[in-house]
Chain A
Amino acid sequence: MLVDSPPEQRAETAPAPPSRKAVRALGLLLSVAVLVLVALASIAIGAKALSPDQVWHGLFHDTGSYGDVVVDERVSRTVLGLLAGAALGLSGAVLQALTRNPLADPGLLGINAGASAAVVTAITYLGVTSLTGYVWFAFLGAAAVGALVWFLGGSRGATPVRLALAGTAISAALYGYLQAVMITDGAALGRMRFWTVGSLASATNSTILQVLPFLAAGTLLALGLARPLNAVAMGDDTARALGAHLGRTRGLAMLAATVLCGAATAACGPIVFVGLMVPHVVRSFTGPDLRWILPYATVLSPVLLLGADVIGRVVARPSELQVGIVTALIGGPVFIFLVRRRRTAQL
């Protein structure tokens, strides 16, 4: 398909550039197809393996049989994986464009640390034990740190270096606080050590419903920012010359990234590397245009996250390896390979 279609497209529209566009659009469709396959695999594969028949039956003719119950459980997990993956990839792509820094990811800007610190506070001092309770604290923490980084980074006059430094500083301070709490309070350590690795295992429909509005709003905002962020990526002077509102764009981009990353972290714990890696991979075949990078990142990040989750369930059967660990174990080598292959990862 990929080989045949571009000439047809070319015949219909203008010559060279649209054909490239068509290839990219087809690539995007192909990515969606891959995503659907991975999502189905995520429902079928696990401690109890299901046949495609059973998956189909469970999805569309739910009769409450054993297989159908398993499908139900795995559907919420898969949906959360889809949402969280898309959110993480998109926020990573936005942050990298915003800070013009290939190293930018939610971890580097301290947003993960903010969520973690808020959750620890909620568990230890406020007696919150249920996931539905501390989702909100994680979100609040991420948003607060996002705002703080934005303010300390110089708000309207923010530069990449300032933002990165502010993020590093805040996450280090919060990390110290986190360690102090975990050392002095054994019960908090018992719960936190599972939350901090990042996992999809605790997914329920209520978690999904709670984070869904934030994720939807963040996604729309981020996708809408593609064009202004393209201008920002060219450097302050050029962007200003092109008529971009630097301050407003940066503020909105920071908002979108914080909302996305905060909600994802709240639901699954801090999952590293999806936000850092997927935009790099995508950029290697779309080029620097964010109007393509952002949609691709939205579609391909869940592929990575769900794939990692499936792998984690297969390799350690009947127990499982948390998805945050698998993404890092896959993502680390891929990232190093990318770094080695490209000149130096540039935006």
Chain B
Amino acid sequence: MKTPTVNRAADMNRTVRANRALRTPGGLSLRLDPRAVLVVVLLLVAAGAAGVLLIGTGDAKIPAADVLRTLAGNGTAYQDFIVNELRLPRVLVGLLVGASLGLGGALFQSVSRNPLGSPDVLGLSQGSTAGALIVIVLMSGTAAQVTLGALIGGLATGCAIHLLAWKQGVHGYRLVLVGIGISAIATAVNGYLLTKADMVDAARAIVWMTGSLNGRDWDQVWPLLALCAVLVPVVLVGARGLRMMEMGDDVANALGVRVQRVRLVLMVSSVLLTAAATAAAGPVAFVALTAPQLARRLTRSPGPNLVPSLCMGAALLVAADWASQRAFGADQLPVGVVTGVLGGGYLLWLLVTERRAGRI
């Protein structure tokens, strides 16, 4: 996904001209790109709209207007139960998982300086899956235990990747390669566990492995929300040096970025975000890989595009779940199938158009 230098320079010029700095009396200044702000607003609107539609979809259909009224607290008791107790948590989990995956993916891709450096490729998802499968197959655990297993699996994988890739600092390329190795090991463990399982456990494991929002309730919402509330600010503050790090470690060092420290903070945050998201909904394919790419294309701005990626992830996941519910009926096909197929299709389309434009 390399744009020729000429194009990139033109992009830079355009964005530099379009940027407006927001200055506060205290001497702090914040650069604002009007296009990026517009994209973020539109994506938030899209995510909200998809969420409302998703709440209205199911065996009991509720018009969008009624959903909004019920969310505001003015619905009938029946609508209130369906919307607030049954479907709102599902949508919130979807939004939070999408946001975490989008942000985590953007961080990974930026830190590894590789569009393929997403949690799917690096083996975090597979590590979480291994954790969950161990609980499902060997312990026949409850849903809560599966979540815990996935979280532990994801964090352990993240630690392993980081430790193994560490050699007087973490180099982007080595990180991706080590991740691929870990990913293959975890995939083998998963395959082995699947062959050991009886049919019921195997079916349950496959559904979990695809990533699904079915039957998510408030118990999944709160931990994820708390984690996002802590980590998103940490990431956004910590990511100030990220844009300079994309120019290479040496340049970033010279510009006064503490490269290793920034990278460690960001890696830990993104591992936590991805592991928590995977624990809540299973390894939803491709959101972490696609969301940052889509966001970057919409904002047309260089750099990690963290906030647009976050919003894009949320909008993408909820819209995909809605599409799956509409097209195949309620709870028939998990959202992971849709994101996988759509994400793959999107990448193909991207390749064809980029090729036509002669940019890759």
Contacts and interface: CB of A to CB of B under 8 A. Distances in A.
Given A272-B184, A272-B187, A176 B177 contact: no
B339 A176 contact: yes
Interface residues of B, number: 57
Nearest to A196: B191
Given A162-B355, A332-B184, A102 B177 contact: yes
Interface string A315-347: 000000110111111011101100110001100
Contacts of B165: 340
Chain A interface size, under 10 / 10 to 19 / 20 to 34 / 35 or more = 35 or more
B182 interface: yes
A272 B351 CA distance: 26
Contacts of A196: 191
Contact of B203 (A173, A189, A333): A189
A176 B341 contact: yes
B36 interface: no
A335 B179 CA distance: 10
Contact of A169 (B167, B171, B206, B351): B351
Interface string A156-195: 0001011011101111111111011011101001100110
A166 B289 CA distance: 14
A328 B182 CA distance: 9
A197 interface: yes
B86 interface: no
Interface in B301-349: 332-334, 336-341, 343-348
A141 to B, nearest CB: 15
Say whether chain B's binding surface is mostly helix, strand, loop, or mixed. Answer: helix
Interface stretch (B4-12, B24-32, B97-105, B192-200): B192-200
A22 interface: no
Nearest to A346: B173
Contacts of B178: 336, 339-340
B181 A333 contact: yes
A304 to B, nearest CB: 14
Given A325-B192, A328-B187, A189 B348 contact: no
A176 B120 CA distance: 13
B2 interface: yes
A331 B344 CA distance: 28
B188 interface: yes
A137 interface: no
A273 interface: yes
A317 to B, nearest CB: 16
A340 B187 contact: no
11 contacts: A164-B116, A166-B351, A169-B345, A169-B351, A179-B206, A189-B206, A193-B194, A325-B189, A325-B191, A335-B180, A336-B164
Given A179-B336, A180-B337, A336-B181, 12 more contacts: A152-B348, A172-B340, A175-B344, A176-B336, A179-B334, A179-B340, A322-B195, A328-B188, A331-B181, A331-B184, A332-B182, A340-B165
